[in-house]
Structure 1
Amino acid sequence: MANSTKGTPLEGVRVLDCTQMLAGPFATQLLADLGAEVVKIERPQYGDITRTTGPDVGDSGITAYFSSLNRGKRSVELDLSTAEGAAAFKSLAEVADVVVENYRPGTMKKWGLGYDDLRSVNEDIVYCSISGFLEGPYRDLPAFDMVAQALGGSMSITGEEDGPPVRPGIPIGDICAGMYAVVGVVTSLYGGGGDYVEVPMFEGLVSWLTERAGRTFVTDEPYPRLGTAHPTLAPYRAFETADGWFAVAIASDNTWQSFCDAIGRPELVDDDRFATNDERVKNRSELIEELAPLFRARSNDEWFTQFREHGLPGAPVQDTHQLFENEHLRESGVLDDLTIGGADFPYPLCPIQFSEAATRSGHTPPQLGEHTEVVLSEVLSDSEITRILSNRE
C-alpha cells in the first residue's frame, strides 16, 4: 500500500499524543499512518501502561500491545504534572497542530494544559479529548471499554439467544472513539484549526447501533440476542462444518434460489416453508434442521470454493492466526512486515487507499523516551533540557 514516491495525506502535521491504553493510541496511530508526525508524551520511567502488558515482541523489551498501537511515533518522557513539564509541553504546543489526550476529564486543565491554556500560545491548535462520556450523570465514571459496551447496548445484543450477554471480541468502545477522534481532528484541520473536539466512547457506541436502534423504536422491544443469526434474514448465520464454522449471508430471495442450487438442494426453493425470506425467518428452526447436516458434511475450504464459484456471500470463520496467512490479505498490501527484537510481525496498516497519496509503513515502535532530547531540543535550551532529564530519574 505504501508508496515512497507519493506524499502522505497528513504530511507536515505535528501531533502531540498524550494518550495511553487503546482508544487514544489507536487514533494517533491512524494519524501517524496517514503521515502525521506523532510525538508521544509518556510518564518518566513508566510510560504508557501497555508497555508492561505482555507478551514482549522478541527480545525488544517492547510488548505486542504497545507496538501494535504506537508504530512510527516518537517517544518523549515528560511529567506534565510538574511546572517544568507543563512549561515544556506548552513550548511543544506552540509549534504543533494537534493535541490528543485521553486523561480523566479535567486532568489536563488541572495541569494548566487545557484547550484555553494552549490556545493562548497557539490559536490554531486542534485539541481533541477522548473521554468515556459527555457531560451528564456518567461524566466521571471510569471509562473502560467494557463499561461503555455494557451501557451502550452492544453487549446486550451479542451472544447466543439462550446465553448471557457477551463482550464483542474486539474492544469496539475504544476503537469507535479512536476513529471518531480521527474524523474530528481531520475535519478541524480541514476547517483551518483552532477548535476543541471531544469524543466519547459511550455516545459513540450508541451512534453505532444504527438500524439496531431503528428496529427498537419501531417494535418497542429490545433488539434480540441471536448469536450469529439475523432477526429479519434467513439463512444468515454461521454453520458448523467438518473442520470449523462457515458464515452464510443470504439476504434476498434471488440469492436463496442460487444458494439452493449450489448446495444441491434445488427442491427447497419450492418448499412453502422457505419460499420467501419472511417464511424462512418464521420457520427458522426447520430451515436450520435442513441445512445443518449439509454443512457438517464438508470442509470450510470445500464450502468456500463452492460459494465463490456460484458468487454467493459466505466465508469460513478464520481465527487470528489463520487470518494473517490469508492469501488475499497478503496480496492486498495492507500488512507492514516489520522485524522487531529479532521477531517478524505483519502489522496491519491503515487500509485507506488514495490515488494521489500513500500511507506510511516501515516504522517501528519507540523505546521509552527514545526521542526526548532530540524533540525537546527543537523548543528548549540546553540547560532546560538538562534540568528535565535530571528530574526524570
Structure 2
Amino acid sequence: MTRSTASPLEGVRVLDCTQMLAGPFATQLLADLGAEVVKIERAGYGDITRTTGPTVGDSGITAYFASLNRGKRSVELDLSSEAGAAAFESLAETADVLVENYRPGTMEKWGLGYEEISAINPEIVYCSISGFLEGPYRDLPAFDMVVQALGGSMSITGQEDGPPVRPGIPVGDVCAGMYAVVGIVTSLYGGGGEYVEVPMFEGLVSWLTERAGRTFVTDEPYPRLGTAHPTLAPYRAFETADGWFAVAIASDNVWESFCAAIDRPDLLEDDRFATNDDRVENREQLRSELEALFRERSSEKWFSLFREHELPGAPVRNTRELFEDDHLCESGVLDDLEVGGVEFPYPLCPIQFSEATTRSGHGPPQLGEHTEAVLSAVVPDAEMDRFVGDDRS
C-alpha cells in the first residue's frame, strides 16, 4: 500500500460490497479521503437505492444513490456464482480493504468470508457492518428504524406529550458508517490483516453518552421534551415572526448577557429565574415569558442580535435554506456536482488537513460502468465475456 500527501488514503484500494446507507456512507467517506473504491453491484440490478427515487435529471441515477456513491467505480458481479466469486477473489488479492453489510453469514455462504479472503490476502482489512453483535438479535433484519427503536434514540425524540419520533437523520446508519471508517483507518494504521465488525445497534447505544449517564444516576428514562433540555433553560426552539429560533443558554453568565441583550432586566431580577436550577424548575413560566418576545422579530433579526452579543442561538434552517447559507457556501465543503444535466452543491467530507486534501469533483457511476476496466486487470481476456458480454468495442 502506497501513500501520498495529496489525499490521506490515496493508494488504498477498497472493495465495496455494500448497499443502502450505512455501508455506502462509510465507503463514500473513504473515497472522499482519497481511496479508490470499487463498488461491487448485483448484475442487472445494482444497489437497492438505484431504484429509490427521485431520479436526478436525465441521468437514470437516483438522488439517494448519488448522495452516497460519488467517485466510486461500479462493477457488476454475481458473487453467488462460481465465476463471480472467483473474479472477486482475484480483486481481493489487489485490495487493502473490503467492506460488506450483507446479513451475517451471507459472504461466508458464498465462500467469501474473512477466513477465505484473508487466506488469499493476509494483509486485507475486512470490515463487516452488521445490525447487532452476537446475541438474541443477531439475525434480526437491521434497518435504521429498527435500530433507532431498540437503541433508545426514538424514545427521547419528540414532544413531551406526543409519541416517540424517528430522528430526521438516519443516525443508526450514519453512526455505523462512521464507526466503520474509524475501525478501518485504525486497522490500516496498524498494518492491516484484521477482521473488523461494526454493529449499528451497539454503536447507536454508545451515542447516548450523557443521556445514558443521566438514566443511570436518576434510575429514570431520559425524558422526551421536544427541543427543550431536562437540565438547562432556556434551551429550546421558540417560534418567531417568520419561523423558529433555537436558543441554547447553558450558564448563569450567559443568561445575564441574554437578559441584557433583549433589554429585559426584570427577568434577571425575577427570583424564579435567578439560577439555572431555578429556570429549569420554572421552565413553563419562563417559556411563557419568552414566547411572546420571540414572536416580535424575524429569525434573521434574532440571529443578528445573538451574533452581535455573542450569544448561542440560531435560526432553524430547512434543507433548502441550508445550502444557501453564506457561511456554508464560503466554508469550502460544498462541491459543484453535475448529474444528468442537473447542477447542485453537494457536501463533501468536512475534515480539514494541514498537509493533505480531500477529493472532490467526482460524480456517481452508472451501473457496471467500470466492470471491464476493473476486471480486465485480474481476469484473463478469454473469460471476460462472462462479465461484460461479447459486444465490447
Name the count of aligned residue pairs: 388
Q: Give the deviation of 1:6 after TM superposition.
A: 5.7
| SS of residue in 2 equivalent to 1:123 | coil
| SS of residue in 1 equivalent to 2:161 | coil
Structure 1 CA distance, aligned partners of 2:166 and 2:68?
21
**Which segments of 5 or more consecutive residues in structure 1 lack a partner in the other structure?**
none
Q: Name 2:110's counterpart in structure 1.
A: 111
Q: Name 2:191's counterpart in structure 1.
A: 192
Q: Give the deviation of 1:140 after TM superposition.
A: 0.2
| SS of residue in 1 equivalent to 2:384 | helix
Q: Name 1:373's counterpart in structure 2.
A: 372
| SS of residue in 1 equivalent to 2:245 | strand
Structure 1 CA distance, aligned partners of 2:284 and 2:386?
72
Structure 1 CA distance, aligned partners of 2:96 and 2:344?
31
Q: Name 1:19's counterpart in structure 2.
A: 18
CA offset digits 1:15-40 (Å, max 9, x no partner) = 00000000000000000000000000
Structure 2 CA distance, aligned partners of 1:65 and 1:47?
13
| Within-5 A mapping of 1:111-130 | 111-130=110-129
Structure 1 CA distance, aligned partners of 2:21 and 2:69?
10
CA offset digits 1:78-121 (Å, max 9, x no partner) = 00000110000000000100000000000000000000100111
Structure 2 CA distance, aligned partners of 1:290 and 1:271?
11
Q: Name 1:173's counterpart in structure 2.
A: 172
Residue 49 (1) aligns with residue 42 (2): no
Q: Name 2:306's counterpart in structure 1.
A: 307
Structure 2 CA distance, aligned partners of 1:233 and 1:276?
10
Superposition TM-score, scaled by structure 2 size: 0.98
After TM superposition, the structure 1 stretch with the greater mean CA deviation from structure 2, 375-384 or 251-260, is 375-384
Q: Name 2:158's counterpart in structure 1.
A: 159
Q: Name 2:232's counterpart in structure 1.
A: 233
Structure 2 CA distance, aligned partners of 1:366 and 1:115?
27
Q: Give the deviation of 1:389 after TM superposition.
A: 2.6
Q: Give the deviation of 1:338 after TM superposition.
A: 1.2
| SS of residue in 2 equivalent to 1:251 | coil
CA offset digits 1:167-192 (Å, max 9, x no partner) = 00000000000000000000000000
Indicate the percent of aligned positions where both proteins have the same amino acid: 81
Q: Name 2:85's counterpart in structure 1.
A: 86
> What amino acid maps onto 2:225 in structure 1?
L
CA offset digits 1:235-275 (Å, max 9, x no partner) = 00000000000000000000000000111212211110000
| SS of residue in 1 equivalent to 2:134 | coil
Structure 2 CA distance, aligned partners of 1:381 and 1:265?
79
Structure 2 CA distance, aligned partners of 1:55 and 1:283?
47
Structure 2 CA distance, aligned partners of 1:305 and 1:390?
62
Residue 216 (1) aligns with residue 244 (2): no
Structure 1 CA distance, aligned partners of 2:54 and 2:43?
22
Superposition TM-score, scaled by structure 1 size: 0.98
Structure 1 CA distance, aligned partners of 2:181 and 2:298?
41
Structure 2 CA distance, aligned partners of 1:33 and 1:390?
32
Residue 254 (1) aligns with residue 246 (2): no
**Which segments of 5 or more consecutive residues in structure 2 lack a partner in the other structure?**
none
CA offset digits 1:110-153 (Å, max 9, x no partner) = 00000010011100010000010000000000010000000000
CA offset digits 1:263-314 (Å, max 9, x no partner) = 1212211110000000000000110111000001110011000000000000
| SS of residue in 1 equivalent to 2:320 | helix
